[in-house]
Amino acid sequence: MDRRDFLSSIGVGAAFALTASCLGSCKKQDVTPSSVDFTVDLTASSNAALKVKGGYIIQNQVVIAQTLSGTYAAATVICSHQGESRVVYDKINNQWYCGAHGATFAINGSGVNNNGKNGLTVYKTTLTGNNLRVYS
């Protein structure tokens, strides 16, 4: 029995129920945090990577980096290409990079290559003393 015969034998309603549940479960959900507001203590040993240019950490689904120019930048770890949580800071190219499918994004979140064409959510940063505020 081929697929057409099978679907005909079970009826349209059952075929819809089977395919709708499969398609719905296969869809990636966008879980990019829309409202972000937290502070990173730069004196904490867990945040030591932020003391050097090119260093980054991941906290609260946000990747935070000290760029090559010495400023701080932050973006969601969730890639807009296929929703993978693999975005990191690429210090060689001074950009955001997703290791899942090679999507690249400028520090301002704009897409650099075809997989990054949808852009990336970026957040504001403000440094006060040893505290780095990351917020939307």
pLDDT digits (tens, 9 = 90+) for 82-117: 888 999 999 999 999 999 999 999 999 999 999 999
- Let me know whether 18 and 47 are in one domain: no
- Let me know whether 58 and 17 are in one domain: no
- Let me know whether 78 and 104 are in one domain: yes
Q: How many domains does the chain have?
A: 2
Distance CA 119, CA 111 (A): 5
- Let me know whether 25 and 46 are in one domain: no
- Let me know whether 13 and 72 are in one domain: no
- Let me know whether 77 and 101 are in one domain: yes
Task: Tell me which residue range forms the domain holding 129.
Answer: 37-135
Residue 80 sits in a domain whose CATH number is 2.102.10.10
> Smallest Cα–Cα separation from 90: which of 114, 79, 106?
106
- Let me know whether 56 and 96 are in one domain: yes
- Let me know whether 23 and 50 are in one domain: no
More confident residue, 5 or 122: 122
Rounded to the nearest 5 percent, the helix, strand and coil shares of the chain are: 25, 30, 45
pLDDT exceeds cutoff 90 at 60: yes
- Let me know whether 56 and 110 are in one domain: yes
Is residue 134 within a helix (H) or strand (E), and if so which, with residue range? Answer: strand 131-135
State pTM to two decimals.
Answer: 0.76
